[in-house]
Amino acid sequence: MRFTPEELEAARDRVVPDVVASDLRVLFCGINPGLMTAVTGHHFARPGNRFWPVLHAAGFTPRQLRPAEQGELLDHGLGITNVVARPTARADELTAQEYREGGRLLAEKVARLRPRWLAVAGVTAYRVAFDDKHAAIGPQERTLGATRIWALPNPSGLNAHWTLTTMAEEYGRLRAAAFAES
């Protein structure tokens, strides 16, 4: 589906609903909605974003879901939210203050929903939102109540440091940890 630049720009004030429920195994957390996500209302909707292929390749879903099928994640004990709710064309349009406030609001959401794992898809976003300058990809020492945190590579097609295969391996490590628990 293609949208005009005007349609994308008009989406900057839209709110993209979370896909959440209480007691999820993993609550995935993007940086913020892109304009394509804001237009469609579906998380990780931009063609070229690798979230949906990586999720399947890592074994979280039995088949590759399309963004419009995001509600099916709940059937697998998974959900999606964002650090910052404001849609932008690029994550570098966000301010450090927006990340910090997003981290505060995310901590409140996690306290309410109680997922086993919060998986932040973007280690830089995690570092700023939670003031943890030394965080690296993988499980974090910090917890939010009983919720453990895992920093994942950002699945954006712009993140050339990570291939589909290496991302699927890292997401697979999270899956093994999240589903090894009773």
Which residues are part of the catalytic machinery? 32, 43
Torsion of CA 146, 102, 175, 73, to 10 degrees: 110
**1 Cβ neighbours under 8 A, 6+ residues apart:** 40
**12 Cβ neighbours under 8 A, 6+ residues apart:** 35, 38, 86, 87, 88
| Cβ–Cβ < 8 Å for 54, 167 | yes
